[in-house]
Chains A and B, each alone.
Chain A
Amino acid sequence: GENVEQHPSTLSVQEGDSAVIKCTYSDSASNYFPWYKQELGKRPQLIIDIRSNVGEKKDQRIAVTLNKTAKHFSLHITETQPEDSAVYFCAANGPIDSGYALNFGKGTSLLVTP
């Protein structure tokens, strides 16, 4: 099945700096790559997603890049703020025999210090 690896597991940055989280996937047929943010004690919520027909997508301070050849995608957060502190999960849709169900990475705990 699909295997999604996510790095780093923890990340600490100073307010105003950029944060980058990287993920790799194994199934070359994967074509949907969402990112979810989960604040402490809360539910995961979608912050941005990208499909395989584009290489980059941006939404204000958040951007995602996709390299299909290398099978990796990354989340970039610029001008980080304390409220960006949360756990971020990447995901990729799995193979057809799983019905293309999403497989999640293990998460990155991001801490933005003032």
Chain B
Amino acid sequence: DAGVIQSPRHEVTEMGQEVTLRCKPISGHDYLFWYRQTMMRGLELLIYFNNNVPIDDSGMPEDRFSAKMPNASFSTLKIQPSEPRDSAVYFCASSYGSMNTEAFFGQGTRLTVV
């Protein structure tokens, strides 16, 4: 398995534009997590899914953020409209069987909103 795959690796967009980040979890994993990493706030959990169902989205900062998981092998995180303060590295991670096992992270998407 190639691990968790995220795309794009880098995204530069103008304020107000829609941004869609993509994630393919490890095959067979039933948990998928979206994290945001900034220097000021560290690693923050935005939302996680279990068996494609969103379980906890309390970390999603605003209604501008939305996430979907239409099937077991694909998830998206969308920001609409984007703002400069959304600039961060967004990680997707997946795990198998439990919240409390190793989470495998993707390479991340570095988002810059200008």
Which A residues contact B (CB, under 8 angstroms)?
31-32, 34, 42-46, 49, 51, 89, 93, 98-107
Contact = CB atoms under 8 A, between A and B. Distances in A.
20 contacts: A34-B102, A43-B91, A43-B105, A43-B107, A44-B43, A89-B42, A89-B43, A98-B58, A99-B55, A99-B99, A100-B99, A101-B56, A102-B45, A102-B99, A102-B103, A104-B42, A105-B42, A106-B42, A107-B42, A107-B43
Interface residues of B, number: 18
Interface of B: 33, 42-45, 48, 55-56, 58, 91, 99-100, 102-103, 105-108
A31 B101 CA distance: 12
Given A93-B100, A102-B45, 6 more contacts: A31-B100, A32-B99, A43-B105, A99-B56, A100-B100, A101-B56
A107 B41 CA distance: 10
Contacts of A31: 100
A46 B105 CA distance: 9
B5 to A, nearest CB: 11
Nearest to A107: B42
A100 B45 CA distance: 12
A59 B58 CA distance: 35
B99 A103 contact: no
Contacts of B108: 43
Contacts of A89: 42-43
B6 to A, nearest CB: 9
A65 to B, nearest CB: 19
Nearest to B4: A43
Contacts of B91: 43-44
A76 B64 CA distance: 41
A46 B103 contact: yes
A14 B105 CA distance: 30
Contacts of A51: 100
B56 to A, nearest CB: 5
A43 B43 CA distance: 12
Nearest to A4: B42
